[in-house]
A and B are shown apart, each in its own frame.
Chain A
Amino acid sequence: EVQLVESGGGLIQPGGSLRLSCEVSGFTFSKYAMNWVRQAPGKGLEWVSGISDSGGSTYSADSVKGRFTISRDNSKSILFLQMNSLRVDDTALYYCAKNQLSVVTAPIDIWGQGTMVTVSS
């Protein structure tokens, strides 16, 4: 069974940092691109960052560029999102999401259940 399990969310003050993790099982992690997608309470989906199968190519939305960094450890089947300089508008449920292919320009076919990040003083 394919599973994506996010962790690392929580309550953090503006300007703080958090590192999200996504542990995957049930498929060959190193063969697929991965993404982080977020959803603010009561709002739509927003793509945050994507990474190719090898980790050699990474992409980020303009809203997080320079603050968030996506990375992966293929030996441990874990996806990461390092979030720095957090702002109140980064408050959202963060989903780990698997692509159908090895490149980021492919549909997302599997989603985790998400980890909540709340940025507030």
Chain B
Amino acid sequence: IVLTQSPGTLSLSPGERATLSCRASQSVSSGYLAWYQQKPGQAPRLLIYGESTRATGIPDRFSGSGSGTDFTLTISRLEPEDFAVYHCHQYGSSLTFGGGTKVEIK
């Protein structure tokens, strides 16, 4: 399954809402879709799994939605620490990752 993330780069200001898209080339089994945040020089951090379940310690401004082939990560109000690269990941059929979306400060 190929995952395509859009946009490649999102330029926003702190306090704004961020909407990131992840589209799969075929249906993702049982909603096995996760989102990760990665900051420069750091390993990825799990944010969301099972389409919409927040991982431990993840603030509720992060939310995941979608089904089938179209998924969305929403950050309701961007905090300064949220500017990073976000990766989607499907783990239902031969694991794959999307190409990433960079959220940068406008």
Contacts and interface: CB of A to CB of B under 8 A. Distances in A.
Contacts of B46: 107-110
B91 interface: yes
A46 B87 CA distance: 11
A107 B91 contact: yes
Interface residues on A, range: 20 to 34
Contacts of B45: 111
A44 B98 contact: yes
Contact of B49 (A37, A46, A100, A104): A100
Contacts of B36: 45, 108
Nearest to A37: B97
Contacts of B44: 45, 95, 108, 111
B7 interface: no
A35 interface: yes
A68 to B, nearest CB: 14
Given A45-B87, A45-B89, A95-B43, A104 B95 contact: yes
User: Chain B binding site: helix, strand, loop or mixed by DSSP?
Assistant: loop
A44 B49 CA distance: 19
What bracket does the count of chain B residues touching chain A fall in?
20 to 34
Contacts of A47: 95-97
A21 B71 CA distance: 34
Interface in B46-66: 46, 49-50, 55
Contacts of A50: 95
Contacts of A44: 87, 97-100
Interface in B1-54: 29, 32, 34, 36, 43-46, 49-50
Interface of A: 35, 37, 44-47, 50, 59, 61, 95, 100, 104-114
10 contacts: A37-B97, A45-B44, A95-B44, A105-B32, A107-B49, A108-B89, A109-B55, A112-B43, A113-B43, A114-B43
